[in-house]
Amino acid sequence: MNKINKIIILALLSLGVLSVSAAEFEYNAALTNNYIWRGMTQTGEDAAFSGGFDVSSDSGAYVGAWGSYVDFDNETNKELDYYFGYSDESARGVNFDIGYISYNYPRESGLDFEEIYVGVAYKWVGVTISTGLDEAPDNTEWSVDLGDSGVGVTYGDYDGVGKYTLLSFDLPKKLAGLSIGIGLSDFDSADGTADEDGFFITFSL
- Mean residue pLDDT of the chain comes to 91
pLDDT for res 8 = 53
Q: Output phi, psi for 12, to 5 deg.
A: -65, -35
CA distance 46 to 201: 12
Of all residues in the chain, the percent with pLDDT exceeding 90 is 78
Instruction: Indicate if the pLDDT at residue 4 is higher than 80.
Output: no
Closest Cα partner for 96 from 63, 131, 136, 129?
129
Of all residues in the chain, the percent with pLDDT exceeding 70 is 89
Do residues 66 and 55 lie in contact, with contact meaning Cβ atoms separated by under 8 Å? no
Lowest mean per-residue pLDDT among 2-16, 82-96, 108-122? 2-16
Give the H/E segment covering residue 76: none
Q: Output phi, psi for 118, to 5 deg.
A: -135, 125
Q: Mean pLDDT over residues 69-84, rounded? A: 95
Residue ranges of domains in the chain, CATH in brackets: 3-204 (2.40.160.40)
pLDDT for res 59 = 87
Q: Mean pLDDT over residues 152-174, rounded? A: 96
Instruction: Indicate if the pLDDT at residue 192 is higher than 90.
Output: no
